[in-house]
Amino acid sequence: MNKGTVLTSAYFFGVVGDPDNLKKIAHHLTDWHVPEHLNKGHLPHKMYTSIYMVEPLTQAFTNIVERGLVDQVHSYDGSYNNRPKRGNPLTKSLHAGGAAIDLNAATNQFNKVGDMSTELIECFTDVGFHSGAFWKKPKDYMHMQLSKDLFDAQYLRIHGKLPIAA
């Protein structure tokens, strides 16, 4: 089950800036080297993502390892990708700011019921991510994104103040 408030593109990009202006948002992105103790199976070893994702992803990946679910991750299918939302070309995806991650895309296609287990999804939702598996429409089982609460907490931890959307 998703916890907290959904993070909207309008709010996120109102804080970090226009994703089409890479100079503007570059300091919110990082080339993250996943800690070696989490380099298991198909979990990514390195990824380009939002700085606000590093600590929550570290915890989610730790959950996957500690709960013995590494064999359920068949592919890492990206975080940062400057593109519009699927089905809504006028709105940027949170992937455009690296605030989301896709896993097991081949068997969890957009707007179709996927095979991602509840236990694997909970490795993320227990940390505060929102899962597209729990959306009413369209379903997006492969997709995990920061919740607004988790983003705000990470912004406060990193910058020492709460974010203000433009």
pLDDT for res 143: 97
38, pLDDT greater than 90: yes
Given the structure tokens 């969890």, which residue do they identify? 108
Please, which pLDDT band fits residue 72 given cuts at 50, 70 and 90? Answer: very high
Q: Cite the DSSP H helix spans in 39-108.
A: 54-66
* Amino acid at site 143: H
Q: What are phi and psi of 38, to 5 degrees?
A: -105, 0
Please, which pLDDT band fits residue 137 given cuts at 50, 70 and 90? Answer: confident
Name the pTM for this structure: 0.95
Give Cα 74 to chain centroid, integer Å: 17
**Average pLDDT over all residues of the chain:** 95
Rg (C-alpha) for the chain, rounded Å, is: 15
For 9-159, give the CATH class: alpha beta
List, for residues 91-109, the tens digit of each pLDDT value.
999 999 999 999 999 999 9
